[in-house]
Amino acid sequence: MFRFLTAGESHGPSLAAILEGLPANLLLDFDEINFQLKRRQGGYGRGARQQIETDKIEVISGIRFGRTMGGPVTLLVKNRDHENWLDRMSVTPIEQETAPITQPRPGHADFPGMLKYHTEDLRPILERSSARNTAALVAAAGICRHLLKVAGIEVISHVVMIGNEWAKFAGTVNYREVAKLAEASPVRCADPDAEARMVSAIDVCMTEGTRDTLGGIFEVVVLGCPPGLGSFVHWDRKLDARLAGALMSIQAIKGVEVGLGFGVAEIPGSKVHDELFFNAGDGFTRGTNNAGGIEGGMTNGEPIVVRAAMKPISTLPTALATVDIKTHQPVKAHFERADVCAVPAAGIVGEAMVVLALTEVVLDKFGGDSIEEFGRNVGGYMAEVRERGFTRVHD
């Protein structure tokens, strides 16, 4: 069984991730994992914190000579900014504690978290609920990407909307080309015209008279998935349910859809469902991919396509009205440095959560105590489905 756990606070000494259940002998590229962390820190509209941190992993356990050993893998990502927070984040008691922060931000975890954990200081809530903690998720997924690669699976993403400025794609979408264009874009958008409008919208929110934040939508695409991952048998084994839960767990995500998503409610079934065809050369094919690569909770061999909607960040420079949790008096919400727009970075975190969810179902399906055994299991299964006419995984 694969499982993972993260720990750490935004301004604590470091963030941590523990992964259990990975097969032994998986060869890792640490430069590639650090590159994923660098991607998470990019994107137009990010705040000052990204100028402080240079995220890199430190391996504590489970890896020897660049390969997994079969035991739990432990990773650290140091917080360079911690040195500026030694008193405020001291592990041991100090003579003069810092004043509590008592002005919860609307839309944040502050208010319910302060009630749940019986505190009049939102600092403990802020620290763990901060999106800074997604660095640990990206680091963990950086390990798991290597496992998925052995199975021929690739996960990419791009931004399709920021501040109601939508990207447009003409004709058939080549997802690898879209991903390539997105990587070269400051807002990770493959449409140059939409990119310019998105940047302009962010600039407006950065101006002194506006001082606001923007949300948007990113799309994660999985290429090379074999059919049959997931299950129709139980609710918690359906892959679309797992992916939706994984994406919804990301800070500020308020909606997830698979394939056409909510669009399926607007058109008749004859235009929704992906008709199935067969010819000797290509085997089974589809005319469309409205299902987003998932039918009945299982992959069907088409690209998995999922989208997530991110709300504007709730830490606003022009603070919203709130109530002091201690005095019950009306005040302005607490402000701590934050991004104007983090949708491009959220897409990278979305990739990470999809990778982690897929790692679980891939290991459920193929197992193996070593990467050699895992590879044989994948190969044997793919040989079987090819014999039945599934001749290729569709990108």
The torsion of the CA quartet 52, 55, 60, 62, rounded to 10 degrees, works out to 170
Residue (of 72, 54, 57, 66) closest to 4 by Cα position: 72
Amino acid identity, residue 158? H
**4, 19 Cβ separation under 8 angstroms:** yes
Amino acid identity, residue 228? G
Whether 260 has a pLDDT exceeding 80, the answer reads yes
Helix, strand, coil % in the chain, rounded to nearest 5? 35, 20, 45
Tell me the pLDDT tens digit for each residue of 277-325: 999 888 999 999 999 999 999 999 999 999 999 999 988 888 899 999 9
Whether 125 has a pLDDT exceeding 80, the answer reads yes
Residue bearing the bigger pLDDT, 354 or 211: 354
Q: Residue 73: what are its φ and ψ, rounded to 5°?
A: -100, 125
Percent of the chain with pLDDT over 70: 96
Task: Mark out the alpha helices in the chain (DSSP H runs).
Answer: 30-40, 49-52, 110-116, 123-129, 134-150, 175-183, 192-206, 239-248, 269-272, 343-366, 371-387
Dihedral sign, CA of 278, 282, 284, 285? negative
pLDDT of residue 267: 96
List residues bridging with 218 in a β-sheet.
Answer: 159, 308
How many angstroms separate the Cα of 328 from the Cα of each of 99, 100, 101, 318? 17, 15, 13, 21
pLDDT of residue 146: 98
- pTM here is 0.95
Residue (of 221, 236, 226) closest to 362 by Cα position: 226
List of domains in the chain? 3-387 (3.60.150.10)
How many angstroms separate the Cα of 61 from the Cα of each of 78, 315, 370? 16, 36, 17
Tell me the pLDDT tens digit for each residue of 182-218: 999 999 999 999 999 999 999 999 887 678 999 999 9
The set of residues, in sequence order, having a beta carbon less than 8 Å from that of 270 and lying 6+ positions away, is: none
User: Sorting pLDDT into bands at 50, 70 and 90, what band is 361?
Assistant: very high
